[in-house]
Amino acid sequence: VRGAEAKDLLLALATGHAGSLGTLHASDARQALLRLEMLVQLGAPQWNVQAIRQLIQLSVDYIVVCGIAEGHRRLEGIYKVAALESFGFLLEPV
């Protein structure tokens, strides 16, 4: 996901189909959510931030963070999107 198609991805994920996957570039799980929020804004500039965050909360269950060390991909963490609070998303390490 690199642009306005983020909106379409979230709308597809929100339909309740299990087993979907999307990837994007970010440094960590929080940055991934912020980046996803900004990418959705590209596809739906008329949507307010709260509506976008609610759609993300409905659509995304987990964030898997991978990195590269010594030329090999490695798992850095798995995070559950636990809740949407007034300050942002609450993430729980799995």
Percent of the chain with pLDDT over 70: 100
Q: What are phi and psi of 37, to 5 degrees?
A: -60, -45
In contact, 24 and 39? CB cutoff 8 Å = yes
What is the number of alpha carbons within 13 Å of residue 52 lying toward its C-beta? 22
pLDDT band at 44, cuts 50/70/90?
A: very high
Q: Alpha helix (H) ranges present in the chain?
A: 5-13, 29-43, 49-59
Q: Per-residue pLDDT for 59 more than 80?
A: yes
Rounded mean pLDDT, 68-74? 92
Confidence (pLDDT) at 36 = 95
Average pLDDT, the chain: 92
Q: Which residues contact 25 (CB under 8 A, 6 or more apart)?
A: 2, 35
